[in-house]
Amino acid sequence: MEQNCYITFFSIHQAIRAEKLLETERYKYKMVPVPRSISSSCGTALQYKCQDITTLRDFLRERNIEIDGLYRVKEEKLRTLSVEILS
């Protein structure tokens, strides 16, 4: 089983804005297709390791990125086991 955290955005513009802001930062993230189990949002989500997720969330919020949702997802063999909505 693996665990990932996802940040979703209302629009791709906000997603790419987030990516641009993070480019020069130390965060190690990936832009990935949004898992169907969480939200339709804008199709692209930011995937991030869960331990530092609130730091990353705050970093984006401070820069006025419109975040749609924040999720912790447990996955196994390409299937979602559980989704936890974080705030």
Partner 1 sequence: MTGNKNNIYFDNAATSWPKPEAVYRSAEIHMRSAFGNPGRSGHTRTLAADRLIYSVRERMANFFNIADPARIAFTLNATDALNMAIKGLLEKGDHVLYTAMEHNAVLRPLARLKTEGTIETTMIPCSEEGMPDLDFLENAYRPSTRLLIINHASNVVGTIAPARKMIESAHQKGVPVLVDSAQSAGCIKIDIQADNIDLLAFTGHKGLLGPTGTGGLYVRPGLGLKPLREGGTGSQSDLEFQPENMPERLEAGTLNSTGLAGLLAGINYIQERGLGNIHEYEKKIRAYLYERLFDIKGINIFGPPEADRCSCVISFNLGDTDCGSVGHILESRYGIFCRTGLHCAPYAHRSIGTFPAGTVRISPGIFTTTNDIDYLIKALKEIATLAGI
* Pairwise CA distance, residues 23 & 40, whole Å: 25
- Does position 67 interact with partner 1 (CB under 8 A)? The reply is no
Could you tell me if residue 77 is left (phi over 0), alpha (psi between -120 and 50 degrees) or otherwise beta?
Answer: left
- Does position 15 interact with partner 1 (CB under 8 A)? The reply is yes
Residue from 2, 28, 33, 77 touching partner 1 (CB under 8 A): that is 33
- Half-sphere exposure at residue 54, Cβ-oriented, CA atoms within 13 angstroms: 4
- Does position 56 interact with partner 1 (CB under 8 A)? The reply is no
Residues that bind partner 1 (CB under 8 A): 10-17, 19-20, 31-34, 40-45, 66
